Amino acid sequence: MSNDIATIELHARAAIDAAGDPAALDAVRVALLGKTGQVTALLKSLGGMDAEARKSFGAAVNALKNTVAEAIEQRRAVLDAAALDARLAAERIDITLPARPAPRGTIHPLSRTIEELTALFGAMGFTVKDGPDIEDDWYSFGALNIPSHHPARAMMDTFYLKPSGRNRPMVLRPHTSTLQIRTMLEQKPPIRVIVPGRTYRSDHDATHSPMFHQCEGLVIDRGITLAHLKGCLVDFLRAYFEIPDLKARFRSSYFPFTEPSMEIDIAWDRKTGVIGAGSDWLEILGSGMVHPNVLANCGIDPREYQGFAFGMGVERITMLKHGIADLRSFYESDIRWLSHYGTSPLAPVTLHEGDA
Amino acid sequence: MKFSLSWLRTHLTTDASLGQIAETLNNIGLEVEGIEDRGAALAPFVIARVIEAVPHPNADRLRVCRVDSGSGEVGVVCGAPNARTGMTTVFAPPGAYIPGSGITLKIGEIRGVASAGMLVSAREMALGEDHDGIVDLPGDAPVGTPYAAWAGLDDPVIEISVTPNRGDALAVRGIARDLAAAGLGTLTPWNAPAINGTGASAIRWQDDFTEACPWILGRTVRGVRNGESPAWLKQRLESVGLRPINALADITNFFTIDLGRPLHVFDVNKISGGALTVRRGAGERFRGLHGKDVNVTSDDCVIADAAGVQSLAGIVGGEATGCDEATTDVFIECALFDRVAIALSGQRSGIFSDARQRFERGIDVSLLPAALDAATAMVIALCGGEVSAITEAGAEPAWQRQASLRFERLQSFGRSDVTPDRAVGILGALGFGIAARDAAGVTVDVPPWRNDVASAGFSAGSTLDQHEDLDPDLATAVRQGARAIEPEADLIEEVLRIEGLDRIVPVSLPPLATVPTPSLTPRQARSVRARRVLAARGMAECVTFSFVDRATAARFGATPDTLTVANPIAADLDQMRPSPLATIARAAATNAARGFDDLALFEIGPGFRDETPAGQDLIAAGLRSGATPLSWIAASRNVDAFDAKADAFAVLQEIGVPLEALQVSATAPGHYHPGRAGTIKQGPKTTIGSFGELHPSLCAALDLPAGSVGFEIDLGAIADPKRRRKSAPDISPLQPLRRDFAFVVDAGVAAEAVLRAAKSAERGLITDVTLFDRYAGDKLPAGKVSLAIAVTLQPKDKSLTDSEIEAVSAKIVASVSKATNATLRG
């Protein structure tokens, strides 16, 4: 009998190894372990034996059954792996084919700069103020200490709208300083605001556009001095241009709404256009201590409060930072230019995460 | 304002270099716009004598010259036809840069003869076009002397930009005074020569408009010979770009620049009636000295004789009474005109003149008698003649006033460490008289030329223009504050300007809080997010002008006259746009014309309904045209209204608008396709946007690709986001299940109605309804469509039984059928 078992096992192993696919293996399994299978028949034969014989033979048959079952499972794993390999080989694609198109959009460089201004001045406690592009001439001039006969009005080259029957002429704001006035009327000191926004002047050539962007700033509090004006703007310029030791020069100048007034130059190289290098100076900002008349026009007592205001061209600082040559290209919306100079909508604005 | 260094030196004794002067001017608020220093470029060129010129042995046209350059003899080969023995000319040594030809000279050999330098023509020195030969100088020109110095060309000309407050700096003397105060030398004393005229002036003044002309002087000089001015005067005027005319006219121009004191000269024999009257204009016209007719109004101050208007006061004189070479008797006008009157007249006439520039910025109000004497003296010196007594009308205005400075304010306002002595010294050097001084401060007399200092209530000085709604008590208090502070601020400005702002040590702003508050309001942050989401959806942000041509504007909305620019820079930029979509469309058309018509552009910017603050909206608008990108995976398709709808809803979702509360109606503004566009409403009244295919005739008119689509979201119309905490989410442990339904409805039924009805069938259980198929065709009756929806059921407490699912399904079918007359598709 034990010879039979050994023979069966031998034959079973041969049949299992010979099974070339899962179906053949299943046929072998049925032939051995199925209801009428060879091993099953041996198990069935145990019933007719005496107890002694059943004990020894039974152990041998059960061992055979386990061995065969195990061999079948091993073979099945091998066949499955081969089948998977074959399927995967058949499923191969050309992975160099292009992905689904997902067009990338861009943020305009002016928006990018305004976000940077917001972040940098925001770190110094400024909030952003916005307001109407069309203002009456009080907000645009009168409140800012520019009476109607003032030669400074001619400096502005202002756009006027056709008369509306209202008392005051309406203008396209020639500066965002109009929001200085709205801020001081709406809010008590301490005030720290910046006003990035559209401005309009009647000028159109290679270096002037009839619409452009300014960023105005206003700080009003007790004890704000000229030294703070200088500190704030030097801090800003160094952070914006990412040059920690950028040199700045403060030159006396004149604006009707500040006294004293000054223009601020930064060091640059006229030949190469590199900011911070060279021995030339580049005008970048206008600023000054807020004129007592402007404070009084807005109901703030200049004996109690003082502060400073500044204004800069957003296009100008954008062109300088990114080496953009032509002002007009900002508004032409040439898709090639927008793709080239635009930034990613996901680029972080905070400086410590770097420039995108 | 231009002036030459030598002119400056007539008022300023200084050793300072040109560079130091320029740097100081920049620091004290007189910004240098340019320096023309012809002498520097001509420095190597010296006067030389040709000892001998002989023909070149190897070239017919060349000559070999022995040249005495003043520092030795050199040999020069010269091609000029006029080179001759004994000639005095100009020599450039080796190493010299020749500006006219752009080369730097080297020692060389020309056709076998050594040549160490060059004899030059005027053109080679960039001094004109003369290239017929080398410069031929008079025989007495000093050999060895720099040519520029001998020819008077070594006088640098400085051009500064003078700010509107500094009328006094529109005078060489005023500039000299500032430089002296800044430590660059000493101001030369200036005193007018005493002139004693005899006899009454042939012309009298009559002043009938004293508001515009408070004081006017004049005097006649008889028997003058008016001709060419002497070389020094012509050179002075030419150096600053003024064309010499004749001596009398040149004298007036000289004083305009020298003292900032405009004058005018009349030819006595051309004046009718023996008197000149200062009066209002009356609609007359006269021919000005600038060669054009001038019309005057009753607001203009004019000077008239018996024959009519002869001059627009303080701006331009008249041709009819001007002086020429035949003039024998001259009347000199020296007037004080009101700044505002001149500024407004100047704006009306549009005439820019040196006189207007000075009068409207303010001249020295007390200088009139001295200036008239100085001018008279120069007339006598250059033209001879007999001087009359002065004729005068009006009177010197009371210009005397004081201002005080508390020394402590230099520190508390300027953080400047300038000492009281230095501050007082600066003010003194600027011409302020020291009236009183103690330890705490100084009181000064303001000089008559500083119309910008302590000017409240004086001349056209500082005026307040307070907001009309200020509380009256507050308005009065702060007005007093300004009156108290402003004169002091003027003095602080003067001290710091001269001391140099660079000497103030910067101090960073003290933080308001350790961690700053947010910079943007929730509304502002919303437009940032709208911008980012649109860019993330593949659109390129653009920035276009807020104005556009009126015809284009009218295609996108109303174009009231009150939004028309009265003085547009160009005819096609004359109307404020109703929506950014108008200018985006223009930009898209330009791109399409360049061959880029698959576009996705957006802008977040203003659109205008009216001129009030409330009529100016912040709008996010976008436009797509052409087709989706080519791809092997999915066929490219043309953009359609649903692309625009997706953009619009992406914005709304990103900025936190609850989408389920929005309604879309199938009506849209006229610039959209009437059957392929929609309006988005938040609640029954608030329209927050629109989207869809653009109207075909709009696309045709603007040269936009047909089928372009767009959207507009009025960011301002959307209610402020609510700042409340979200409730805890209802996250069920049970699996959701999906049931699909296909409904057949009339083609006119809005899909949204089906979705709404399905969703409302069992609110507690249905979490999502998605339309996944729409079919119309031959398997359905005409006029019917099939809409297939997937409904997600989310059980909460226990799994749903089959009968419960059946019940919900029946509710859905009933709800949709009731709302839309739908039948379940069999």
Which residue of chain A comes nearest to B521, CA vs CA? Answer: A128
Minimal C-alpha gap between A355 and chain B (Å): 17
pLDDT of residue A272: 87
What whole-number distance in Å separates Cα of residue B389 and Cα of residue B199? 6
Distance, CA of B346 to CA of B336 (rounded, Å): 16
One domain for residues A235 and A179: yes
Looking at the domain assignment, is residue A263 inside a domain?
Answer: yes
Same domain as A213, residue A118: yes
Report the residue of A293, A319, A344 to disrupt the B interface, i.e. the one with the largest count of B CBs within 10 Å: A293
SS in 3 state form for B607-623? EECCCCHHHEEEEEEEE
User: φ, ψ for residue B703 (rounded to 5)?
Assistant: 60, 40
Mean pLDDT, to the nearest integer, of B404-415?
91
Per-window interface: B 536-575 vs A, CB < 8 A: 536-547, 561-570, 573
Q: A145 and B413: CB-CB below 8 Å?
A: no
- Is the Cβ pair A103, B600 closer than 8 Å? yes
First to last CA, chain A: 83
**Closest partner CB to A108 (pick from B542, B562, B576):** B542
Token output for B253: 């121009």
Q: What is the model's pLDDT at position A2?
A: 54
B508-516 average pLDDT score: 92
What does the pLDDT read at residue A154? 63
Do the domain assignments include residue A336? yes
Question: How sure is the predictor about B122, in pLDDT bands with cuts at 50, 70 and 90?
Answer: confident
Dump pLDDT digits (tens) for B216-234.
999 999 999 999 999 899 9
* Distance (Å) from the alpha carbon of A258 to chain B's nearest alpha carbon: 10
B481 touches chain A (CB under 8 A): yes
pLDDT at position A350 = 62
| A96 found inside a domain | no
Q: Are B67 and B48 in contact (CB under 8 A)?
A: yes
pLDDT band, residue B550 (cuts 50/70/90):
very high
Give percent of chain B with pLDDT exceeding 70. Answer: 99
C-alpha closest to that of B135 among B147, B144, B122, B148: B122
Question: Does residue B458 belong to the interface with chain A, where contact is any CB pair within 8 Å?
Answer: no
Identify the pLDDT of residue B423. Answer: 95
Q: Which residues contact A272 (CB under 8 A, 6 or more apart)?
A: A278
In this predicted model, what pLDDT tens digit does every residue of B316-335 receive, in sequence order?
Answer: 999 999 999 999 999 999 99
Query: Spelled out in words, what is the top-level CATH class assigned to the domain B737-824?
Result: alpha beta
* Domain B402-503 shares a fold with domain B737-824: no
Check whether domain B40-150 has CATH 2.40.50.140, yes or no: yes
**pLDDT value of residue B458:** 64
Residue A247 lies in a domain: yes
Residues A218 and A251 in one domain: yes
Q: Does A331 touch chain B (CB under 8 A)?
A: yes
A222 shares a domain with A75:
no
Of residues B412, B467, B531, nearest to A297 (C-beta): B467
CB-CB contact of A214 with A235 (8 Å): no
List the single best residue of B496, B541, B583, B591 to mutate versus A (max A Cβ within 10 A): B541
Q: At A276, give phi and psi (nearest 5°).
A: 90, -15
**Could you give the C-alpha distances from A341 to A171, B625, B733, in angstroms and in order?**
32, 22, 50
Closest-CA residue in chain B for A186? B470
Q: Taking CB atoms and an 8 Å cutoff, what residues of chain B touch A127?
A: 517-521
Cβ-based contacts of A342 with chain B (< 8 Å) = 535, 540-541
Test B507 with A160 for CB contact under 8 angstroms: no
A253 and B163: CB-CB below 8 Å? yes
Work out the average pLDDT over A125-146: 94
Mutation for testing the A interface, residue in B542, B559, B604, B631 having most A CBs under 10 Å: B542
Arithmetic mean of pLDDT, A51-56: 84
Say if CB B791 and CB B769 are below 8 A apart.
Answer: yes
Omega before residue A260 within 30° of 0, cis: yes
A150: pLDDT strictly greater than 80? no
Q: Which of A301, A331, A340 to mutate to test the interface with B (most CBs of B within 10 A)?
A: A301
Give pairs for A317-322: CB < 8 Å, separation 24+. A317/A113, A317/A240, A317/A284, A318/A109, A318/A110, A318/A112, A318/A113, A320/A241, A320/A273, A320/A275, A320/A282, A320/A284, A321/A113, A321/A240, A321/A241, A321/A275, A322/A109
Asked if the model's pLDDT at residue B435 lies above 70, the reply is: yes
| Lowest-confidence pick of A49-63, B441-455, B796-810 | A49-63
| Residues of chain A positioned with their CB less than 8 A from the CB of B512 | 125, 190, 192
Q: In the prediction, which pLDDT does A151 show?
A: 64
Taking an 8 Å cut-off on Cβ atoms, the answer to whether B520 and A200 are in contact is no
Q: Does any CB of chain B come closer than 8 Å to the CB of residue A244?
A: no
Quote the mean pLDDT of chain B: 92
Q: Which of B72-86, B119-133, B745-759 has the highest mean pLDDT?
A: B745-759
For the cut 60, the answer to whether the pLDDT of residue A353 exceeds it is no
| Total count of residues recorded for chain B | 826
pLDDT the model gives residue B461: 66
Interface contact B714, partner A, CB < 8 A:
no
pLDDT of residue A337: 97
Q: Verify that A137 and A49 share a domain, yes or no.
A: no
Q: What pLDDT was estimated at residue B684?
A: 85
CB contact under 8 A, B562 and A302: no
For the domain made up of B2-37+156-187, give the CATH fold: Phenylalanyl-tRNA Synthetase; Chain B, domain 1 (3.30.56)
Chain A residues with beta carbon closer than 8 angstroms to that of B547: 210-211
- Contact B482/A302, CB-based, under 8 Å? yes
Report whether pLDDT(A351) > 60.
no
The answer to whether the Cβ–Cβ distance between B486 and A162 falls below 8 Å is: no
User: Looking at per-residue confidence, does B239 or B377 come out higher?
Assistant: B377
A348 lies in some domain:
no
Of B413, B511, B568, the CB nearest to A225: B413
User: Quick one: angle between helices B231-239 and B247-258, nearest 10?
Assistant: 50
- Provide the number of structural domains found in chain A: 2
Would you list the DSSP string of A242-288? Answer: T-TT--EEEEEEEETTEEEEEEEEEEE-TTT--BT-SSEEEEEEEEE
pLDDT of B661 strictly over 60: yes
Identify whether the C-beta of residue B556 lies closer than 8 Å to the C-beta of residue B579.
yes
Q: Are residues A270 and A317 in the same domain?
A: yes
Cβ pairs A/B, distance under 8 A: 327
Asked if residue A267 and residue A169 are part of one domain, the reply reads: yes
pLDDT tens, B751-768? Answer: 999 999 999 999 889 999
pLDDT of residue B460: 62
Smallest Cβ distance to B482: which of A293, A330, A335?
A293
Report the residue from A234, A249, A331 with minimal CB separation from B543.
A331
Average pLDDT over residues B612-631: 95
Q: Please check whether residue A261 lies inside any domain of the structure.
A: yes
User: Alpha-carbon torsion B336, B339, B343, B344, what sign?
Assistant: negative
Q: Are residues A186 and A335 in the same domain?
A: yes
Tell me if chain B has a CB within 8 Å of the CB of A106. Answer: yes
Chain B: closest CA distance from residue A173 (Å):
12
Per domain, the residue ranges of chain B are 2-37+156-187, 40-150, 204-394, 402-503, 522-717, 737-824
A356: pLDDT confidence band, cut at 50, 70 and 90? very low
Provide the 10 A C-beta neighbour count for residue B334.
27
**Is residue A290 within 8 angstroms of chain B, CB to CB?**
no
pLDDT at B556: 97
Q: Are residues A125 and A8 in the same domain?
A: no
- Which residues numbered 127-186 in A keep a CB inside 8 Å of some CB on B? 127-128, 130-134, 138, 142-143, 145, 147-152, 154-155, 159-164, 166, 170, 172, 181, 185
- B549-553, B577-581, B794-798: which range is least confident on average? B794-798
Alpha-helical segments (H) within B295-367: 339-349, 354-361
Across residues B79-106, what is the average pLDDT? 88
- Cis before A190 (ω within 30): yes
Tell me whether residue B608 is exposed, middle or buried, using C-beta atoms within 10 angstroms of its C-beta: 0 to 12, 13 to 18, 19 or more.
buried
Lowest mean pLDDT among B6-20, B130-144, B476-490, B509-523: B130-144
Q: What are phi and psi of B623, to 5 degrees?
A: -140, 135
Quick: pLDDT tens for A152-194: 676 568 999 998 776 788 999 999 999 999 999 999 999 999 9
CATH classification of the domain holding A124: 3.30.930.10
**Tens of pLDDT along A66-115?**
998 999 999 999 999 999 999 999 999 999 999 999 898 999 999 999 99
> Best interface-test mutation with A: which of B543, B549, B567 has the largest number of A CBs within 10 A?
B543
pLDDT in the model for residue B140: 86
Q: Determine whether the interchain pair B490/A259 forms a contact, defined as Cβ–Cβ distance below 8 Å.
A: yes
Contact B478 A302 (CB under 8 A): yes
Range of the domain at A65: 2-90
Coil vs helix vs strand at A82: helix
**Nearest CB neighbour to B415, from listed A166, A226, A297:** A226
Name every chain A residue with its beta carbon within 8 A of the beta carbon of B592.
none
CB contact under 8 A, B478 and A235: no
pLDDT beyond 50 at B86: yes
A337 and A231: one domain?
A: yes
pLDDT tens digit sequence for B146-194: 888 887 778 899 999 999 889 999 999 999 999 999 999 999 999 989 8
Question: Cβ of B513 and A125 within 8 Å?
Answer: yes
Nearest CA in chain A to B468: A297
**Least CB-CB distance to B467: which of A118, A228, A299?**
A299
The answer to whether residue B161 neighbours chain A at the CB level (below 8 Å) is no
CATH node for B522-717: 3.30.930.10
* Mean pLDDT for the stretch of residues B704-713: 97
Phi and psi at residue B315, to the nearest 5°: -125, -55
CATH topology of domain B402-503: Phenylalanyl-tRNA Synthetase; Chain B, domain 1 (3.30.56)
Distance from CA of B539 to the nearest CA of A (A): 4
A249 and A288 belong to one structural domain? yes
What are B276-307's pLDDT values in tens digits? 999 999 999 999 999 999 999 999 999 999 99
Q: Specify if A347 maps to a domain.
A: no
A179 is a domain residue: yes
Question: Which one of 3.40.50.720, 3.50.40.10, 3.10.50.40, 3.40.50.10320 gives the CATH number of domain B204-394?
Answer: 3.50.40.10
Q: What does the pLDDT read at residue B108? A: 84
CB contact under 8 A, B497 and A260: yes
Tell me what pLDDT residue B459 has.
61
Q: What is the pLDDT of residue A42?
A: 84
Residues A60 and A170 in one domain: no
Of B619, B651, B622, B648, nearest in space to B532 by CA: B651
pLDDT tens for residues B37-65? 877 888 888 999 999 888 888 888 888 99
